[in-house]
Amino acid sequence: STKNNADLKPELTTSLEAGLEMKFFQGLLGFDVSLYKDNTVNQILPVAVSTATGYSSKYINAGEMQNQGIELMLMGTPVKSADFQWDITVNWAKNINEVISLDGDLENLQIAALQGGISINARVGEPYGTIQGTDYLYHENGQRIGKSNGYYAKTATADIIIGNINPDWTGGINNRFSYKGFTFSFLIDMQQGGSIFSLDQWY
C-alpha cells in the first residue's frame, strides 16, 4: 500500500555537541553533562495519498528538522566495601524539537489522521508530532462559550494546535547492587509531559 519513491535523497544530519565529564573522590562521585544541536535535512517522512492512486501512502524528502537540548547524568557510590557496593546513576534530558522547513511551500504535513477529527502533524515552526483538532470558542474572560442546546461551541476547522506528543523531559534512576560476584540492578524510568488524546473522553 506504500508507493516507492526512486527520487528519495538520503537524510543528512549536522551535529554540534559539547560535553564535560568529571569524577571525584576516586570515582565515587561524578557527573556527565552534554549540550547538543542536530539539524537533519531531506527528512524522509510518510505522507497520505488518495487511495484512487492504488496506494495509501508514499515517502518524500520533507524538509529540515532541528533537535537541541541537554543531557545530564549524575553518578555516585554511597556504599563500597570489600564484599558489597551500591552504585546510583541519575539521568535527566530535555530535547526541544522544531520543524524548520518542509518540501516546497508546504507549511504543514499530516503524518496521521485519527478518529475525533484529530491529526498528528509536522508543522513549520512547531515540534514534530503536533496534535491538531477542534478547540472550544471562548469569551474574552477565558470562559467557554455555551450554545442553547447545552453543548460548548467549537471551532469550525480542525487545524487548531491542541498539544504535541513530545515530553517536556525524560529521566531515570538506576540502582546497582554488587555482592560477592552477584549483581542486581533496577531502573525507575520517567517522563514528564507529552499530550495524549483520549477518544473515550471525546465520545
Cα–chain center distance at 88: 26
pLDDT tens track of the chain, all 203 residues?
A: 888 888 899 999 999 999 999 999 988 999 999 999 999 999 887 777 778 888 888 888 888 999 999 999 999 999 999 899 999 999 999 999 999 998 778 888 888 888 888 999 999 999 999 999 999 999 999 999 999 999 999 999 889 999 999 999 999 999 999 999 899 999 999 999 999 999 898 88
pLDDT for 102 equals 87
Q: CA distances (Å), 73 to each of 155, 164, 168, 172, in order?
A: 44, 26, 17, 9
Question: Alpha-carbon distance 175 to 192, whole Å?
Answer: 21
Q: Kindly report the three-state secondary structure assignment for every residue of 83-109.
A: CEEEEEEEEEEEEEEEEEEECCCCCEE
Diameter over CA atoms, the chain:
76
Question: Alpha-carbon distance 21 to 110, whole Å?
Answer: 41
Helix (H) or strand (E) holding 202: helix 199-202
Q: CA distances (Å), 34 to each of 72, 90, 192, in order?
A: 7, 14, 20
